[in-house]
Amino acid sequence: DTEVTQTPKHLVMGMTNKKSLKCEQHMGHRAMYWYKQKAKKPPELMFVYSYEKLSINESVPSRFSPECPNSSLLNLHLHALQPEDSALYLCASSPFSTGGTGELFFGEGSRLTVL
């Protein structure tokens, strides 16, 4: 079982809705990540938080707003999304704040459908 927990597992929202994806880990990891994965494609990095501070934003549109309330939690707030934003959103954590070996621990993802 994954030690990174993501909720909800499935989310359907309209383009005018506001929703949030949540991620939680209790492994004491200090780096947390959001990835977006389209069908049959590799995960693409969106955001990285290191020690609860945003360290990387891969030019993600402002309709995606990340938040790291504490070292165990990571949220992704969604507003005014487009149908092309439909994808699997993966959260990951790492014990290394500066990349390390690259071993990330992934959650099972939140599958988002935007109507």
Q: Which residues bind another protein (CB under 8 A)?
A: 2, 4, 31, 33, 40-45, 48, 50, 55-56, 58, 90, 92, 97-109
Residue 84 burial by Cβ neighbours in a 10 Å radius (0-12, 13-18, 19+) = exposed
Residue 111 contacts residue 12 (beta carbons within 8 Å): no
Nearest-approach distance from CB 67 to another protein, in angstroms? 18
**Given the complex with another protein, which of 2 and 82 has the nearer CB atom?**
2
**Given the complex with another protein, which of 4 and 112 has the nearer CB atom?**
4
Q: If you search the block for the tokens 């699997």, which residue do you land on? A: 88
Nearest-approach distance from CB 62 to another protein, in angstroms? 20
Q: What is the CA radius of gyration of the chain?
A: 13
Nearest-approach distance from CB 80 to another protein, in angstroms? 26
How far separated are the first and last CA of the chain, in Å rounded? 31
**Given the complex with another protein, which of 45 and 60 has the nearer CB atom?**
45
CB < 8 Å & 24+ apart, contacts of 61-70: 66/34, 68/32
**Given the complex with another protein, which of 73 and 80 has the nearer CB atom?**
73
Nearest-approach distance from CB 16 to another protein, in angstroms? 29
